Amino acid sequence: MARFQENDLPKAKLNSNSLQKALRIFKYAKNHKWKFFLGLIFLFLTSATALAFPKLMGMLVDCVTNKDLSKANEIALGLMVILGLQAIFSFFRISLFVNFTENSLSNIRFALYENLIKLPMSFYSQKRVGELNSRISADISQLQDTFSTTIAEFLRQFILIIGGFVILGSISPKLTLMMLAIVPIVAVAAVIFGRFIRKYGKKTQDKVAESQVIVEETLQGISNVKAFANEWYEIQRYKNKIREIVKIAIKGGQYRGYFASFIILCLFGCVVAVVWYGITLTIKGEVEGVGDLISFVLYTTFIGASFGGIAEMYAQIQKAVGATERVFELLEETPEEINAKPRLSAVEKIKGNVAFNNVAFSYPSRKEVQVLKDVNFNAEFGQKIAIVGPSGAGKSTISSLLLRFYDITSGEILVDGKNIYDYDLENLRGNMSIVPQDVILFGGTIRENIAYGNPNASEEEIIAAAKQANAFNFVDGFPEKFETLVGERGVKLSGGQRQRIAIARALLKNPSILILDEATSSLDSESEKLVQEALEVLMEGRTSIIIAHRLSTIRNADKILVLDNGRISEEGTHQELINLENGIYKNLSNLQFSNS
C-alpha cells in the first residue's frame, strides 16, 4: 500500500485564486475564527517585543562605555519586562492558533468522514481505499502543522525582516546597504543548499522504506519463502537495497559536510565583515557607539535567520494550499441520498417482487466494457432465484445493481413494480440483506456484530437470531460468549462461523429481499451443512437471489439463470436445464457431479 509522507505532498501555486480557495477552510472554523484573529494580534505583539530586544541590548552595552550604572539597571529591568511580555504573548499566540486549528480540523475531519461514508460505490471502485486513507491523513497533518505553526512563524519572520530593516536603516544607512548586499544572498544560498541536502535525506528515507517493504513482505509470506527455499534470493534482494541506502546516505553526508563548511566560511564570514565595517564606521564616527554596533549585529543575525526560515515556510504554505484543495475536492464529491442519521420511522416494508427489464450496464471506471447486456428476469415474492455462470460473467454485478450501488446504463429494475430509482435509498436498502462471500466482521463483540442488522434488537432477539443461524452453540462455547471480541484484536472466527454470524445479522434485519453471494463456496462439508441449514431458515418467506458456484445447493431453486458473458443464456428449473442438449448448465452440472 502506498503511504504518503508529508514530503511527497505536491505544492500548489500561490495566487489569489488558490489562496481564496484555501481560505474556504475558515468556513469550518465556525465560531472559532476569532481565535485566529486574536492570535494574529498576539503575533504582532510578540514580534514587536522581539524587535525591541537588540536595541535595548545595544543601549545596555553603551552604559559600559558611559559607566552609567543607574541607566544600566533601568535598561536591564526593561529587558526583563520585555522578556516577560514576550513570554506571555507567545503563550497566548501559540495556544490560540492551536485551539483554532484543532477545532477547525476536527470539523473538517468530521465533514470529510461524513461525506466519504456517503459517497457512492462508483467513487470507491475508482479509488484505492488504502491510498485515499493515507493521502487524507497526510493532507490533514499538513494543514495541522501549517495552521498551528507555519503561518504564524511565516508572518513573525516577515515582520522581523521588515521591522529589522527599518531599525537598521535608522542606525546606519551605509552599514544597512552593505548588509543588504551580502546577507540575503548568503541566506538564500544556504536555503538552496539545505533543500538539496533534504532531497538526499528524503531519497535515503525512501530507500529505507523500500527495504522495510522487503522485510514486511518476506515475513508475512515467510511460509512461501521457505517452501520455495528462496531465502538466498530474499537475502540478496535485501542486501542490494541496504547497499543503495549506504551509498545515498554517504553522498548526503558529504553534502552536509560541504554545507557546514559553507556556513562557517560564508555566514560567519559575513558577520565578521559586517562587524569589521561597523567598527570602521564607528571609529570614523559615522555610527554612534559600540552599543549601536551590537544592536546592528544582533538585528543582522535576526534577519539572516529569518531569511533562512521564511523560504522553507513559504514552501510549507504552498503544500498546505495544495492539501486544502484536495480535501475540498473530497468534500465536494456528490454523496448518495443517504440521511446518515438514525432512522426515526421504521422501514416501509416492501413485498419483494423483483424484475430486471433489458438491463445493460458498464462500470463507470471501465465504460467501454459492457458487463451486463439485455438482462431480463423476474423474481416473484418468496421465490429462490439462482444465478450461475463462469467467473466474471457478471453475477455479483447483478446484486450490486439491485442494491443500487451503481446506476444502470439502460433498461429498468423494478421492485414491487416500482423503479428502484424512485425509492428512498435508505428504505430500499433497508429491505435488503446480503450475505457476502467474504464476511467482514467489525472489530467489536459478537453481540455488536449481530446487532449490526438491527441496532434496536433486544437481547432475546439477538439470541434467537443466533440460534436460528446455528451460531448459538459456538458462541456459547466461548468463555465470554456474546461479549467475545472478534477481529484483529479478538478471536479469529472460521469462515463458516463468520457466515453464520452474517446470517444472524441478516435474520435480525428481517429483509424482504435476500442476496446470497456464493455463501457456501469455501466451506468444508460439516460447516456447509450448518450454514446451509441456517440459510434455509433465513430464506423462508423472502425473495432470495442466490449467486452460486456449487450447483448442489440450488437444485431446488424456483428458477436458475445461467449468465454467460453478461447475458442470460439459459433460464429454467434444474430439471428443465438438465434436459437442454449442449446447454451450459448441463455441462457445468456434468462436470461438477462427475468430480464430486
Query: Using CB under 6 A as the criterion, what x/- string covers residues 377-396 for binding ligand ATP?
Result: ------------x-xxxxxx
Q: Contact 500/506 with Cβ under 8 angstroms?
A: no
Q: How far is the CB of 559 from ligand ATP (least distance, A)?
A: 17
SS3 of 71, please?
helix
Residue 404 makes contact with ligand ATP by CB under 6 A? no
Q: DSSP assignment, residue 445?
A: B
Closer by beta carbon to ligand ATP, 12 or else 546: 546
Query: Using CB under 6 A as the criterion, what x/- string covers residues 518-557 for binding ligand ATP?
Result: ----------------------------------------
Written as nine digits, the cell of 14 is 500561490
Taking each continuous run of H as one helix and of E as one strand, the counts in the chain are: 20, 10
| Cα–Cα distance, 159 to 395 (Å, whole number) | 66
CA proximity to 559, closest of 388, 372, 389: 388
Looking up cell 559615522 gives 286
Residue 115 makes contact with ligand ATP by CB under 6 A? no
Q: How far is the CB of 241 from ligand ATP (least distance, A)?
A: 34
Residue 251 makes contact with ligand ATP by CB under 6 A? no
Closer by beta carbon to ligand ATP, 345 or else 391: 391
Q: How far is the CB of 439 from ligand ATP (least distance, A)?
A: 15
| CA dihedral over 125, 131, 136, 142, signed as positive or negative | negative
Name the one range near ligand ATP by CB under 6 A: 79-87, 180-188, 358-366, 551-559. 358-366
Strand partners, 357: 412
- Residues touching ligand ATP: how many (CB under 6 A)? 13
Q: How far is the CB of 369 from ligand ATP (least distance, A)?
A: 7
C-alpha distances (whole Å) from 7 to each of 127, 142, 529 are: 22, 10, 54
Closer by beta carbon to ligand ATP, 397 or else 445: 397
Is residue 419 left, alpha or beta, with left meaning phi > 0 and alpha meaning psi from -120 to 50?
beta
Closer by beta carbon to ligand ATP, 371 or else 428: 371
Q: Contact 310/151 with Cβ under 8 angstroms?
A: no
Residue 409 makes contact with ligand ATP by CB under 6 A? no
Q: How far is the CB of 393 from ligand ATP (least distance, A)?
A: 4
Residue 431 makes contact with ligand ATP by CB under 6 A? no
Looking up cell 475540498 gives 328
Closer by beta carbon to ligand ATP, 197 or else 588: 588
Written as nine digits, the cell of 234 is 530474499
| Cα–Cα distance, 279 to 114 (Å, whole number) | 65
SS3 of 435, please?
strand
Query: Using CB under 6 A as the criterion, what x/- string covers residues 123-162 for binding ligand ATP?
Result: --x-------------------------------------
Interior angle at CA 489, CA 484 and CA 491, nearest 5: 45
Q: DSSP assignment, residue 481?
A: G
Closer by beta carbon to ligand ATP, 153 or else 518: 518
Q: What are phi and psi of 477, to 5 degrees?
A: -75, -20
Q: Contact 464/545 with Cβ under 8 angstroms?
A: no
Q: Which of 158, 363, 381, 474 binds ligand ATP (CB under 6 A)?
A: 363
Closer by beta carbon to ligand ATP, 307 or else 406: 406
Q: Which of 195, 251, 366, 418 binds ligand ATP (CB under 6 A)?
A: 366
Closer by beta carbon to ligand ATP, 59 or else 568: 568
Q: What are phi and psi of 398, to 5 degrees?
A: -60, -40
Residue 368 makes contact with ligand ATP by CB under 6 A? no
Q: How far is the CB of 389 from ligand ATP (least distance, A)?
A: 6
Q: How far is the CB of 435 from ligand ATP (least distance, A)?
A: 15
Closer by beta carbon to ligand ATP, 146 or else 397: 397
Q: How many CB atoms lie within 10 A of CB 111?
A: 15
Binding site for ligand ATP (CB under 6 A): 125, 363, 365-366, 371, 389, 391-397
